[in-house]
Amino acid sequence: MESKLILAIFPILIIPIAIGSLVTWKSVSWSARWFLGVSFLGIFLICGHALGVSERVILILLVIAIALICILISLHRHDISKNIKWPARQTLIIVVILLIQLLSAYTTILANPVFEWDAVAIWFQKAKALYYWESFISLPFVNYPNFGAAHWAFIMKFTGFSEATGRLFFPTAYFAFMMVLSTLFKDNDTPWTGVFVIPFVSILFFHNAYISGYQDGLLSLMAGMSAFYYCRFFIVLELDNLAASYPRDIRYDLFLAFFFSGILGFIKNEGTVMAVLLFISAAGWFAIRMRSKTVIGRIPLFWGFIMFVALISLWSLLLLYNGVDPSHVQGGVFTIKGIFNSYENLDRYRDIHQYFSLYLTSHRMFIIVSSLLSIASALYVKTTRTALCFVWTFYILHFAFVALVFFSTGTNYMWHLGTAFDRLMFQHRFVYILMIVTAISSIAALMQRRLSVR
């Protein structure tokens, strides 16, 4: 088992970070580069498999790509070494604490085989089929996207057919997301506040979804990455000296926000809807807060939007290429016609409302704390107002989307509520995490500035 864990380090950490290191933007943290690496790798594996490329060719291309990356890193080692700085003491403390949590999650996975129903019947079966590189059309639940299963299978290629080692990918993504959030405190010059906040939030919000094999946790994390960069974009947009000081960073933030939201459709079908909701929320608040054409000219909105549309369309195009109708999800349970006719099922309101009421009750502490912190931050730190409004707008829209799912489902809606409601609502869990961390980091920075003035 020890040798398998050592081998798993390559597909889980080393290869994604190596791929992500090709992004040379200084404002991108190494944890964000990890997400970039797994995104590029996931798209490569999914597209290669869907297009019918043989496993041998995929392997050769991957080896060539990694070799080229190593050569590029070697050629630019001096430039890279200049950008690499020994982490600050506060960052190291956060890393050590999160690593202890990560090892605990690893131990839980290795001690418990995958057993959740959909995790076994859908996602592990997909991973197993991809491990053996079965044809695209023969994959179980072919309409369901393959991102998480592709990484699950990719890790098993290094460790042998051990489903547990493949599942190590999911908690790794959770703790990488926490490290991304920790950069907010570094940016605000309040790193010691982050030492207390990030580990606490990480422990508080860790959930079985990040180790069970379900994809909803991964979907929430990737949506959180997109929302994080949208928020950074809006925060910088509110700065008075934007045009003089931040033309490059804001461009990169918007690009990454578009990119990570485009990846959502590769994780789960509802990820495409979440990507659209994130975009609508961001575009709406951008239109409201737009202040000068000079700023617009510095941001490649058009090309970023083209990339976003291309990414969220790619999975459907791959399905069409293989003769699969992308408009029929779960064997026709959800159809365009069913969505338009959802008004005919208003008699379901009472049962659906009951589930939402139970959710609000069980999550009231998260909702109250994140709401109060958001209000405090919006009142006292004006640069965070648009970012906070954007995230809460998405939150409300996602509630509406989940309700629409159960008004339009073509199967027994009570059964569907019992099996899918909690998972769908879990997908916006990142909202609470992002709002708490953003608000605390901004308030801490404000307090520090006021104390320094005194």
- Any domain includes 344: no
DSSP characters for 378-416? HHH-GGGHHHHHHHHHHHHHHHHHHHHHHHH-SS-HHHH
Read off the pLDDT of residues 6-61 as tens digits, 9 standing for 90 and up. Answer: 889 999 999 999 999 888 777 888 999 999 999 999 999 999 999 999 999 999 99
Alpha-carbon distance 60 to 53, whole Å? 11
How far, in Å, are 1, 318, 366, 371 from residue 433 at the CA level? 34, 34, 9, 11
Q: What is the pLDDT of residue 66?
A: 87
Question: Is 300 inside a domain boundary?
Answer: yes
Number of domains in the chain: 1
pLDDT, average across residues 59-73: 88
User: CB–CB of 218/173 below 8 Å?
Assistant: yes
Residue 181 and residue 198: Cα distance in Å, rounded?
8
Cα separation, 199 vs 108, whole angstroms: 19
Residue 243 is predicted with a pLDDT of 45
In a domain? residue 392:
no
Is 275 a member of any domain? yes
DSSP state of 44: H
Output the pLDDT for position 16.
95
In a domain, 410, yes or no: no
- Alpha-carbon distance of 282 to 291, in angstroms, equals 15
Asked if 45 contacts 58 with a C-beta cutoff of 8 angstroms, the reply is: yes
Does any domain span residue 244? yes
Q: What one-character DSSP code corresponds to residue 334?
A: B
CA distance 372 to 393: 16
Tell me the per-residue pLDDT of 142-196, one tens digit each, with 9 for 90 and over.
Answer: 999 999 999 999 999 999 888 999 999 999 999 999 999 999 998 888 999 999 9
343 within a domain of the structure (yes/no): no
Domain enclosing residue 327, as ranges = 2-332
What are the beta bridge partners of residue 334? 329
Burial call 400-414: b when 16+ CB within 10 Å, e when fewer: ebbbebbbbbeeebe
**Residue that has been written with the tokens 């960069």 in this structure:** 229
In-domain check, residue 182: yes
Q: Rounded to two decimals, what is the model's pTM?
A: 0.94
Residue 246 reports pLDDT greater than 70: no
- Cβ atoms of residues 408 and 155 within 8 Å: no
